[in-house]
Amino acid sequence: MRSPEGAVASAMERAQHILENVFGYQAFRHHQADIIQALVQGRDVLTLMPTGGGKSLCYQIPALVRDGTGIVVSPLIALMKDQVDALQQLGIRAAFLNSTLAYGEAQATEQALRDGSLDILYVAPERLLTARMLALLESSRIALFAIDEAHCVSQWGHDFRRDYQQLSILHQRFPSVPRIALTATADQRTRAEIIAQLQLEDAAVFVNSFDRPNIRYLINEGRNAREQLWRFLEREHPRDAGIVYCLSRKKVENTAAWLNGKGRAALPYHAGLTDEVRHHHQERFLREEGLIVVATIAFGMGIDKPDVRFVAHLNLPKSIEAYYQETGRAGRDGLPADAWMSYGLQDVITLRQMMQEGDAAEQFKRVSHQKLEAMLGLCELTTCRRQALLGYFGEAYPRPCGNCDNCLAPPQTWDGGEAARKALSCVYRTGQRFGVNYVIDVLCGKDDARIRHNGHDRLSTFGIGNDMSNTEWRSLFRQLIARNYLEVDLEGHGTLRLTGQCRPLLRGETELELRKLQKAEKTKKRRADKTGAMAPRPGDEPLFDALRRLRRSLAEAQGVPPYVIFHDSTLMEMARVRPTTLEEMRSINGVGEHKLSHYGETFLKTIRAQSEQALPEKPEQEPVNAEALPLD
């Protein structure tokens, strides 16, 4: 009889075999091997792993190693088909159960589950929690439960789903079936709630590095934000797929129309569109190359498209968690990608107003305000963005990253103490009853009937700020609000009020170093780094393009996204290595046995044809000059 240690070793050997022969990779990354071993042993697991870090392998491989079917709980109904298509391309028996299936299709899938002829089944939480589905699971052999996007369980999270809080029933009804909860984003408070809500107190916890070294973080002040975005796209991503996030539906529509008018194919996505339109736009984004989706936060969770080369924000996100989750949709393939953002003072006012006007409990509002303050702090930093971003999640980064705007083009700072005292005094002397624009007009000495009517042209602060431009004053006020020297009275139409924190500053007891207003966007071009090149080597480009065309034609014939066939990174490796046999093709990352048998010869044919075209013509043989030959 095999010992428990021997059984685990045998299971891990099988896991390694599946990794190599099914998924086409040679080695596990991060904590994948430890996570898989814990699940194989029947333990519960909580894992935090960045987007693109290989979370799905952590439950897919043990689902194939253990007896029974792996049940994946996912809130992403619109994406289940693509996830199943990708697994079926690998020869894995995968299916989904959700409201998009016809009655007969659902019946067939349920029977396959009972018969044990499924490896992996995707289910939405609302369906899983029905009495009928729970009874079906009890009559089937279950290998494990994977709870994807586990941060949805937390009321403090940015993607709260009430159904997730009932998933503790899995522990109660199936105590012997191991569970794995996975997320890419969770601070300490959210982690604690995931553990409590899902009853994972005895789970093995694996927290991988939150760092995404292939993502370059760029944050700009919100002057002419659209034009800044256009210059960025023209310079860095003239033909790449990406996501542009906006705060409002109207801005989504206007920005998508503006991009289309500029010659870029862009699709809007927000909750105000019909389900059919949203689904159609999402399908196009997943299947076509070079498309831009302009969206509210209604778009994106679980997007598997690996070649999103940029995520742009035209408004300030509500929290660092939201920012990290949304920017993490770029560069899932590990190739360089950009997280670009432009934000301004109005974003701060609008978000605070939205939070204040909501019907949430006061404690939730306080936490939301704290998260917004942390996001503002990240924006106003003059030091490395990555160090601060990772520090928020409790991870120390030893040195400046060299791959964010503050590292690539260090911002200038200035002593803003005197200017801040002028601004704060003007807010006070105008009665703390006016908004930013009015106070700036007083500071700059504007000849205005409203100012004269209020008698503010006779104040000592009238005209004392005309040495600075309106734009410079707005930058200063934004930073004063971000640092909590001023608060915005959201019930008083955005009027400014002094906080208790400003007293030492007004007295000259503290110094205030501020970011100097950027005159122009001077971020350096991306440099080569350890994550690889943005594009294939110049000599490999014709072959890479030919392989992409082949991939697109195969994907269209099967009705699946191109990346389901092979990722760009796999095609780049093919173009670089130029395998000539199936055995050589087998060594390419991302080429498992199933894909090798289905696509190997087809891709080899294109590689051979392109290589033959690239061969130079042989020069005519010149006669040998015997006298030029060496004597020895």
Q: Which CATH architecture has domain 413-515?
A: Orthogonal Bundle (1.10)
Collapsing DSSP states into helix, strand and coil, what is residue 295?
strand
Beta-sheet strand order (sheet of 142-147): 94-97, 120-123, 69-73, 142-147, 179-183, 45-48, 204-207
Domain segments of the chain: what residues?
4-207, 215-408, 413-515, 538-614
In one letter, which amino acid is 555? A
Q: Which CATH architecture has domain 4-207?
A: 3-Layer(aba) Sandwich (3.40)
Cβ pair 190, 56 in contact under 8 A: no
Confidence at 254, pLDDT banded by 50, 70, 90: very high
Share of the chain above pLDDT 90, in %: 60
Q: Which residues pair with 121 in a beta bridge?
A: 71, 95
- DSSP E strands in 492-574: the ranges are 495-498, 513-515
Dist. CA 426–CA 463, nearest whole Å: 10
Q: Are 4-207 and 215-408 in the same CATH fold?
A: yes
Collapsing DSSP states into helix, strand and coil, what is residue 552?
helix
Reported as a single tens digit per residue, the pLDDT across 81-131 is 888 999 999 999 999 998 888 999 999 999 999 999 999 999 999 899 999
Residue 272 tokens read as 């105000």
Confidence at 616, pLDDT banded by 50, 70, 90: very low
Dist. CA 364–CA 362, nearest whole Å: 5
51-55, 60-64, 302-306, 326-330: segment of lowest average pLDDT: 302-306
* Of the candidates 5, 48, 54, 51, the residue with the CA atom closest to the CA atom of residue 33: 54
Q: Are strands 495-498 and 486-489 parallel, antiparallel or unpaired?
A: antiparallel
Reported as a single tens digit per residue, the pLDDT across 279-322 is 899 889 988 989 999 999 867 665 778 899 999 999 999 889 88
Reported as a single tens digit per residue, the pLDDT across 582-593 is 999 999 999 999
Dist. CA 447–CA 193, nearest whole Å: 56
Fold assignment, 215-408: Rossmann fold (3.40.50)
Residues 6+ away with beta carbon under 8 Å from 436 = 345, 474, 477, 494, 496
Reported as a single tens digit per residue, the pLDDT across 536-583 is 788 899 999 999 999 999 999 998 889 999 999 899 999 999 999 999
Residue 587 tokens read as 């060594």
Residues 6+ away with beta carbon under 8 Å from 230 = 262
Dist. CA 267–CA 282, nearest whole Å: 9
Q: Which residues pair with 515 in a beta bridge?
A: 413
Dist. CA 412–CA 304, nearest whole Å: 39
Q: Which residues pair with 48 in a beta bridge?
A: 183, 207
Dist. CA 13–CA 430, nearest whole Å: 74
In one letter, which amino acid is 600? G
Backbone angles phi, psi at 207, to 5 degrees: -115, 110
Residue 15 tokens read as 């896991």
* Of the candidates 472, 379, 375, 374, the residue with the CA atom closest to the CA atom of residue 423: 472
How much is the pTM? Answer: 0.80
Give the mean pLDDT of the chain.
87
* Of the candidates 285, 284, 203, 267, the residue with the CA atom closest to the CA atom of residue 39: 203
pLDDT confidence of residue 491 = 58
Dist. CA 629–CA 632, nearest whole Å: 9
Cβ pair 185, 150 in contact under 8 A: no
Dist. CA 487–CA 378, nearest whole Å: 18
Beta-sheet strand order (sheet of 310-313): 215-221, 337-343, 310-313, 242-245, 292-295, 266-269
Q: Are strands 413-415 and 337-343 parallel, antiparallel or unpaired?
A: unpaired
Confidence at 624, pLDDT banded by 50, 70, 90: very low
| DSSP character at residue 297 | T
Q: Pick 538-614's CATH classification: 1.10.10.60, 2.60.40.10, 1.10.150.80, 1.20.1340.10.
A: 1.10.150.80
Dist. CA 140–CA 133, nearest whole Å: 11
Dist. CA 390–CA 583, nearest whole Å: 42
Cβ pair 192, 490 in contact under 8 A: no
C-alpha distances out from residue 60 to 22, 39, 451, Å: 11, 11, 67
Reported as a single tens digit per residue, the pLDDT across 395-434 is 889 999 999 999 999 988 889 999 999 999 999 999 999 9
